[in-house]
Amino acid sequence: MVKLYRCTICGDAYIGFASPPNCPFCGAHIEHIKEAKEAEVIFDVPLGAKDQANVEHALQVEISNSAFYMCAANQTDDSEGKILFKALGKIEAEHASIWRKILKQGSIAPGSDACHTENVENLKESHERETRAIAFYRKSAAEADHPRIRQLFEALVEIETDHLHLSEERLK
């Protein structure tokens, strides 16, 4: 029987016969995907000064990474690379949307990060960007005052680690 599922990280819904192993929108792992009627999704979170600063920085990281990946999807010289970078660009844009909801912001201006035409150079930069994001998100999770902010940062560490592994596999 087809069911309605919802990701507790990004809040987006998925219709299917079973829960997907990862959210098709933000990449969150299966433990964050619940039947919609059981999913608690919270974006109205009181932010202390530290959480506010970390969430604002996270928004900028995701806008920047999304712009880089979309550029790479259009510019890279590898057909599979184009597909990979487009998928990553969409996921990073979804991450920006999560932070935008937490910050109660309307639309956000897209980034304008440059990329390379050589696929291997885009993969190297992807690896660097994901490594930086993971380190920042780990630190932010450890510092988080609000449990929901901690949950979001911890989930994004997992997701960005998945992205890191994608670039590592392709750089071999």
Domain boundaries, the chain: 3-38, 49-171
Residue pair 144/104 in contact by the 8 Å Cβ criterion: no
CA distance 28 to 49: 26
CATH code that applies to domain 3-38: 2.20.28
Tokens 């035409």 belong to residue: 117
For the stretch 120-168, pLDDT in tens is: 999 999 999 999 999 999 999 999 999 999 999 999 999 999 999 999 9
For the stretch 96-109, pLDDT in tens is: 999 999 999 988 77
Domain 49-171 has CATH 1.20.1260.10: yes
CA distance 57 to 54: 5
Handedness of CA 94, 156, 44, 11 (dihedral sign): positive
- Which residues are 15's β-sheet partners? 4
For the stretch 110-124, pLDDT in tens is: 788 999 999 999 999
Q: Where are the alpha helices (DSSP H) in the chain?
A: 49-75, 79-102, 119-143, 147-171
Which bin fits 168, alpha (ψ -120 to 50), beta or left (φ > 0)?
A: alpha
Please state, for a pLDDT cut of 70, what percent of the chain lies above it.
Answer: 100
- Can you give the pLDDT at residue 107? 81
Tokens standing for 98? 């999560």
54 half-sphere exposure, CB direction, 13 A CA radius: 22
